[in-house]
Chain A
Amino acid sequence: MTTLRADRRFSWLRSVIAVYAKDWHSELRTRYAISALLMFVVTTIAIIMFSLGSEDAPPEVLSGMLWVVVFFGAMSGLARTFVMEEERGTSMTLQLLTGPSAVYFGKLLFNLVLVFGLNSVTVVLYLLLINGFVVKTVSIFLVTLILGSIGFAAAATIIAAIIARASTKGTLYPVLSFPILLPLLLTVINATRMAGEGAAFSEAYGEFQLLISYIVVVIAASTVVFDYVWKD
């Protein structure tokens, strides 16, 4: 009985990894999401850079703008995981191959890697190109970046699954994402501001607790909702 259970668990894990690997393999061939994300990040940061010129904006404005870039960058690429399956007509193939939970976690894993990549590029470019954006408490900034990325990926994955079935995908995604991501955005902007102001690591505990709670709630709710979203 234990062997059977362990075998099922390994089989589920293999399915999750296979869904993730399939998406990466496909992404490397088509470069749909990576290109969209990179183009968006580069152009948006360039616009911010030109509009600020040599002026130093306050840290709270700069930290807010950093997450605006991340938000819209994520919106331009993260829906791809489900929208492409729907547009190419492969969702039914996927439904036939594996259960909903393996699809959800495989896609979540793909979006996680994509968001981490996006955020890393965004932060490096932002630090290099935007005048006045400094990080005084690196530990707060790094933890915020990691937790924020997980939160973004978790929310974006389930929203992408929902809107993939709709006819107005393009406009619906940011509209539906905004209220769901608002608590996350407010928390990461605040934590980034604290990192810029040089606050002690312990002062950001409240923000971290909020981010962890957000991640747990979104992933737990998604696993319940996804079964209904994925099947007709």
Chain B
Amino acid sequence: MNESVHIKASGLKKVFNGRTIFSDISFLLTPGQTLLVTGRNGSGKSTLVKILCGLLTPTAGSVDRGGGPRRSEAALLAEIGLVAPYLQMYDEFSAVENMRSALAMRGLKPAAYDIDVVLQRVGLYARRADDVRTYSSGMKQRMKFAFALIHSPSILFLDEPMANLDSEGMEMVRGVMREQRSKGMLVVATNEVNDVDTFDQKVNLDDAARR
């Protein structure tokens, strides 16, 4: 567990086309902690996740992901794993090619990572050599998990993690979530969580929109 990494959100606000999506979101997430982001459709769950990952700039406020000011962007990105509906894989590549390419683009050596083990875990090992364009939507969702887990990130963001998955896939997600709690930080954005009480912190964006 990388103890220098944390997520400190301070006064986050996002405005799109003059409409305030949410405002005044603040929290501190430290290693071993979990955060649940809930809210109705259009409340900004995905927007908040993108801001926390550094994919979107907030209108106001800031996100500190630890590591100090001298830390390179690549090093910060290496701490992040994201599974989200808006994250697309390269369709013309196979699962293995996507994973190798992703590791290399992260500046890592693909040979040092056991891609097959991760693909086995998400249930895609048998189809590892097939192009992603031939996968079903559920298989693509599993592929996103493999993509997010291969580099053992300290912070795992799951935006609607159960989307398109069958019962076996959902069980795999629950296992990933359990494991991440012991390895680092977990941020889940969804309305489909039964065990809400198991999360250390909660952000309800329906409340944030009313502020």
Contact = CB atoms under 8 A, between A and B. Distances in A.
B87 A92 contact: yes
A25 B107 contact: no
Interface in B89-127: 89-93, 97, 101-102, 104-109
User: Which of A10, A15, A95, A96 counts the most chain B CB atoms within 10 A?
Assistant: A96
A168 interface: no
Where chain B touches its partner, the secondary structure class is: loop
B105 A94 contact: yes
Contacts of B93: 25-26, 29
B101 A96 contact: no
B98 to A, nearest CB: 9
Nearest to A27: B92
Interface string B39-55: 00000000000100101
Nearest to B97: A25
Interface stretch (A16-24, A122-130, A135-143, A150-158): A16-24
B25 interface: no
Contact of B92 (A12, A21, A30): A30
B87 to A, nearest CB: 6
A129 to B, nearest CB: 34
B73 A96 contact: no
Contact of A8 (B72, B87, B92): B72
B89 A97 contact: no
Interface stretch (B26-34, B74-82, B161-169, B179-187): B74-82
Interface residues of B, number: 29
Contact of B86 (A15, A89, A97): A89
Given A12-B74, A96-B53, A90 B104 contact: no
A97 B101 CA distance: 10
Interface string A1-17: 00000001011101101
Given A22-B90, A89-B86, A89-B88, A96 B72 contact: no
A98 B73 CA distance: 8
Contact of B101 (A21, A30, A102): A21
A232 interface: yes
A15 B73 contact: no
A92 B106 contact: no
Contacts, number: 87
A19 B105 contact: yes
A18 B104 contact: yes
Given A96-B77, A96-B87, A98-B77, A26 B107 contact: no
B107 A14 contact: yes
A202 interface: no
B89 A93 contact: yes
B1 interface: no
Contacts of B86: 89, 92
A28 B62 CA distance: 42
A98 B74 contact: yes
B57 interface: yes
Contacts of B196: none
B56 interface: yes
A14 B88 contact: no
Contacts of B72: 8, 99
Given A88-B88, A88-B91, A99-B73, A25 B106 contact: no
Contacts of B87: 92-93, 96
B101 to A, nearest CB: 5
Contacts of A88: 88, 90-91
A90 B90 contact: yes
Interface of A: 8, 10-12, 14-15, 17-19, 21-22, 25-26, 29-30, 88-90, 92-100, 102, 231-232
Given A11-B107, A26-B93, A97-B106, 12 more contacts: A8-B75, A15-B105, A18-B105, A30-B92, A88-B88, A88-B90, A88-B91, A90-B90, A96-B82, A100-B73, A102-B107, A231-B57
